[in-house]
Structure 1
Amino acid sequence: MEHVPFDDAETYEPEEGWGRAALAGSEKFTFEWFEKPAGHSSPMHDHENEQVCVCLEGELTVHTEEETVVLGEYDSVHLESWEAHRVENATDERAVGLDVFAPGRGFDFWTDREE
């Protein structure tokens, strides 16, 4: 068993106010809690990992090249491997979500990323 108290989780802030915390996971899957400040959007990107994004608080808008969906509290979306997407908080309030990646990944996806 691997217990990861939230206050002890590895954290990363790709941009000011956009915080991420690595929760318990493995090489097969990882869970990342995240918060997005009002008006923030991640850049359009893709990755080898399948992803499920769950909105825990507020509202998140997920854009792909083909469609856009708005996630309310506890709504989720599945993104295939290599499906280009970006996640936006288009509201005036903070949004909180949970990303699940399979296979698992670390924060090096963002830290080693070339723009």
Structure 2
Amino acid sequence: MHPVSFDDAETYEPDEGWQRVSMAGSDAFSFEWFEKPPGHSSPMHDHENEQVCLVLQGEMTVYTEDDEVTLGQWDSVHLESWEAHRVENTGDETAVGLDVFSPGRSFDFWTDRE
């Protein structure tokens, strides 16, 4: 067993107000808790990892090259490996979510970008 305390977990803030927290995981999968301020969008990007994004609070819209879906609390979306996407907080309040990645990944995905 490998517990991870939220207060002691590795954190990363790619942009002001966009916080990510690395929760328990492995090379096979990883969990990242995150929050986004209203109006914030990640850049369009893709990665080798399959991803499930679950909205815990607020509203987020997920855009791909061909589609978009607005998710409310407890809604989720699955993104295939290499599927280009971005996630935007389209609500009026801070949005909170949980991303699950398979295979697992570290924050190097964001810190090593050009």
Q: Same fold (TM over 0.5)?
A: yes
Distance in 2 between residues matched to 1:43 and 1:92, nearest whole Å: 20
Q: CA deviation at 1:40?
A: 0.2
Aligned to 2:68: 68
Q: CA deviation at 1:3?
A: 0.5
Distance in 2 between residues matched to 1:63 and 1:56, nearest whole Å: 18
Question: After superposition, where does 1:25-104 map in structure 2 within 5 Å?
Answer: 25-104=25-104
SS at the partner of 2:7? helix
- How many percent of aligned residue pairs carry the same amino acid? 75
Where does structure 1 differ by over 6 angstroms across 4 or more consecutive aligned residues? none
SS at the partner of 1:7? helix
TM-score (norm. length: structure 2): 0.99
SS at the partner of 1:32? strand
Distance in 2 between residues matched to 1:91 and 1:80, nearest whole Å: 25
Distance in 2 between residues matched to 1:74 and 1:87, nearest whole Å: 16
Instruction: Give 5+ residue unaligned stretches, structure 1.
Output: none
TM-score (norm. length: structure 1): 0.98
Aligned CA-pair RMSD: 0.4
The one-letter code sitting in structure 1 at the alignment partner of 2:50 is E
Instruction: Give 5+ residue unaligned stretches, structure 2.
Output: none
Distance in 1 between residues matched to 2:13 and 2:5, nearest whole Å: 18
The one-letter code sitting in structure 1 at the alignment partner of 2:69 is V
Distance in 2 between residues matched to 1:24 and 1:90, nearest whole Å: 28
Distance in 2 between residues matched to 1:113 and 1:56, nearest whole Å: 27
